[in-house]
């Protein structure tokens, strides 16, 4: 006996995680995607995204008969047990950043066009994708159905821990102008026992942006503070530890880095700025958050320049650099808006010769050979090969394996013994023992500020 019949449209990391996790909560779930080859792979249990626990959950729920995959939203409608209608339709389709930072809603519109008229009376349509404020209202207009309610239920999943975040959420947010529909959606998650915020649709939509932009602001603040630490001789890890004990601030999300990236924070900060602009609100704090992040990438390049040439204006022409980590963060193979790649592009513009290594690309996908280059950066098979002959080694992604590399082997491979650790993850004493000069962010004693 299933709890509810749930249709999920879109099997990206949000849709697939939502589908598999809702099935694990006892619901009958049919996931639809327009990519027939992907659906075929999912039916065979092949999950393309690197997401811990997801492939196992998909396999488990598929064999338990609670999770099925079909091509196209139309096909999903007729795929529930005993041909009964879906009760809830989750929209988990992409909402990429369109011109001027506005989210592109064409995928949402096309799903509504395809199945809107076919939905049974009483179905609840749920927007799970991050969408601009007003999208629930717009979806209701497109639907033209007074007997189908629209609900906003933003997700707060992090790539690399999506299953864990879904099944152990900090909160569930459900917004709708139809209270009964909102409660029915909230009830899907009842077994998780998480705090639930029931609100109107616009507040739920804004809440997602408010959360991501706050996180981005926190990180830009930390990166700016790390720069200040360098200038005044303080240490960022002591400063963040100290402020983090204040429960109003918290220890999480306080690590300095090469700038925040990925498919969410950059898109959402720009989109919220756009929302503010259209509401005639000059959101200076958010603009500064974005500008600080853009500047952070240049700041890393400046650090490389100073460390390698000894001068702020020194030339990086023909300087060979090893880049360790290219994904936007550890635990994922996602390269979207990766700070590492943005920094690579700036270094290449400055004339540097780059070789990269990332553990996410050591093996190819689905039997294919691994890539030989990413975004014009040739890939080495391991960190030591990448470091061969390099004038500096940059740690750009916080992969745990970089902490435990045999740095003395790296030291004998490089041409010059410089490590620029943009994540502050490798113990500077270990590097020094290996004969390497450590340059981190905002660290006391790195001594890379003065010319």
Active site residues: 264
- Minimum Å gap between C-beta 46 and ligand UGA is 22
> What's the min distance (Å) between Cβ of 171 and ligand UGA?
11
Looking up tokens 């997602």 gives 208
We find the least distance from the C-beta atom of residue 262 to ligand UGA, in angstroms, to be 4
State the sign of the Cα–Cα–Cα–Cα dihedral 136, 138, 142, 148: positive
Q: Token digits for 217?
A: 């602001």
Q: Taking contact as CB under 6 A, which single stretch among the options 37-45, 133-141, 249-257, 369-377 is the one that binds ligand UGA? A: 249-257
Which residue reads 């402020």 in tokens?
A: 243
169 forms part of the interface with ligand UGA (CB under 6 A): no
Segment interacting with ligand UGA (CB under 6 A) among 54-62, 63-71, 79-87, 247-255: 247-255
Q: By C-beta, is 123 or 196 nearer to ligand UGA?
A: 196
Which has the closest alpha carbon to 335: 361, 365, 314? Answer: 361
**Torsions phi, psi for 103 (to 5 deg):** -65, 140
Instruction: Taking each helix axis as running N to C, give the angle between helix 54-63 and helix 13-24, from 0 to 180 degrees, rounded to the nearest 10.
Output: 50
Residue 68 β-bridge partners: 30
Backbone angles phi, psi at 207, to 5 degrees: -60, -40
Which residue in 159, 391, 421, 446 binds ligand UGA (CB under 6 A)?
A: 159
Q: Which stretch binds ligand UGA (CB under 6 A): 188-196, 248-256, 271-279, 298-306?
A: 248-256
Nearer Cβ to ligand UGA (283/399): 399
Distance CA 383, CA 410 (A): 8
Scan residues 201-230 and list those touching ligand UGA (CB under 6 A). Answer: 212, 215, 219
Helix (H) or strand (E) holding 244: helix 236-244
Strands of 86-226, DSSP E: 88-91, 124-127, 149-152, 172-175, 196-199
Task: Kindly write out the interface string for residues 18-57 of this chain, putting x where it contacts ligand UGA by CB under 6 A and - elsewhere.
Answer: ----------------------------------------
Residue 164, interface with ligand UGA (CB under 6 A)? no
Q: Which range, of 112-120, 153-161, 342-350, 406-414, touches ligand UGA by CB under 6 A?
A: 153-161
Closest approach of ligand UGA to the CB of residue 166, in Å: 10
- Phi and psi based region of residue 235 (left: phi greater than 0; alpha: psi -120 to 50; beta: remaining): beta
261-290 residues near ligand UGA, rule: CB under 6 A: 261-262, 264-265
- Nearest distance in Å: CB 152, ligand UGA: 14
- β pairing state of 392-395 and 418-421: parallel
Binder of ligand UGA out of 145, 158, 295, 444 (CB under 6 A) = 158
x/- mask, ligand UGA, residues 328-347, rule CB under 6 A, reads xx------------------
The pairing of beta strand 88-91 with beta strand 124-127: parallel
Residue 195: exposed, middle, or buried by beta-carbon count in 10 A (0-12, 13-18, 19+)?
exposed
Can residue 253 be called a binding residue for ligand UGA (CB under 6 A)?
A: yes
The C-alpha atoms of residue 322 and residue 418 are separated, in whole angstroms, by 10
Angle among Cα 136, 141, 146 to the nearest 5 degrees reads 95
Q: Which is nearer to ligand UGA, 80 or 90 (CB)?
A: 90
- Which residues of the chain form contacts with ligand UGA (CB under 6 A)? 130, 155-159, 212, 215, 219, 253-255, 257, 260-262, 264-265, 328-329
């Amino acid at each position: 006996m299933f709890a509810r019949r749930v249709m999920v449209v879109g099997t990206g990391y949000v849709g697939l995680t939502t589908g598999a996790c809702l099935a694990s909560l006892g619901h009958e779930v049919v996931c639809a995607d327009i990519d027939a080859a992907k659906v075929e792979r999912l039916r065979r249990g092949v999950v393309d995204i690197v997401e811990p626990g997801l492939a196992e959950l998909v396999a488990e729920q598929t064999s338990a008969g609670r999770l099925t995959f079909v091509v196209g939203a139309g096909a999903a409608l007729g795929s529930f047990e005993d041909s009964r209608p879906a009760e809830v339709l989750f929209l988990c389709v992409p909402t990429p950043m369109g011109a001027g930072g506005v989210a592109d809603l064409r995928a949402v519109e096309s799903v509504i066009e395809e199945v809107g008229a076919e939905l049974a009376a009483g179905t609840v349509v749920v927007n799970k994708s991050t969408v601009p404020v007003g999208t629930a209202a717009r979806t209701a207009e497109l639907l033209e159905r007074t007997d189908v309610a629209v609900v906003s239920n933003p997700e707060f999943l992090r790539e690399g821990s999506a299953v864990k975040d879904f099944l152990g959420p900090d909160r569930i947010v459900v917004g709708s102008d139809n209270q009964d529909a909102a409660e029915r959606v909230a009830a899907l998650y009842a077994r998780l026992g998480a705090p639930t915020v029931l609100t109107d649709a616009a507040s739920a939509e804004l809440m997602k942006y408010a959360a991501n932009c706050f996180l981005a602001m926190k990180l830009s603040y930390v990166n700016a503070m790390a720069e200040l630490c360098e200038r005044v001789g303080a240490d960022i890890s002591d400063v963040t530890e100290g402020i983090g004990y204040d429960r109003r601030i918290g220890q999480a999300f306080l690590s300095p880095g090469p700038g925040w990236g990925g498919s969410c924070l950059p898109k959402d900060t720009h989109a919220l700025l756009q929302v503010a602009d259209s509401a005639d609100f000059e959101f200076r704090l958010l603009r500064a958050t974005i500008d600080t992040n853009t500047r952070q990438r240049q700041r890393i390049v400046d650090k490389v320049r100073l460390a390698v040439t000894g001068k702020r204006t020194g030339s990086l022409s023909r300087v060979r650099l090893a880049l360790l980590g290219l994904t936007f963060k550890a635990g994922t193979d996602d390269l979207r808006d990766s700070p590492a790649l943005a920094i690579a592009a700036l270094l290449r513009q400055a004339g540097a010769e780059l070789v990269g290594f990332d553990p996410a690309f050591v093996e190819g996908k689905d039997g294919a050979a691994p890539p030989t280059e990413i975004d014009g950066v040739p890939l080495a098979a391991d960190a030591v090969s990448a470091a061969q002959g390099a004038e500096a080694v940059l740690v750009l992604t916080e992969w745990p394996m970089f902490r435990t590399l045999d740095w003395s082997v790296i030291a004998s491979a490089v041409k010059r013994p410089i490590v620029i650790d943009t994540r502050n993850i490798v113990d500077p004493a270990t590097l020094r023992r290996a004969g390497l000069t450590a340059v981190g962010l905002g660290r006391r004693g790195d001594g890379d500020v003065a010319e």
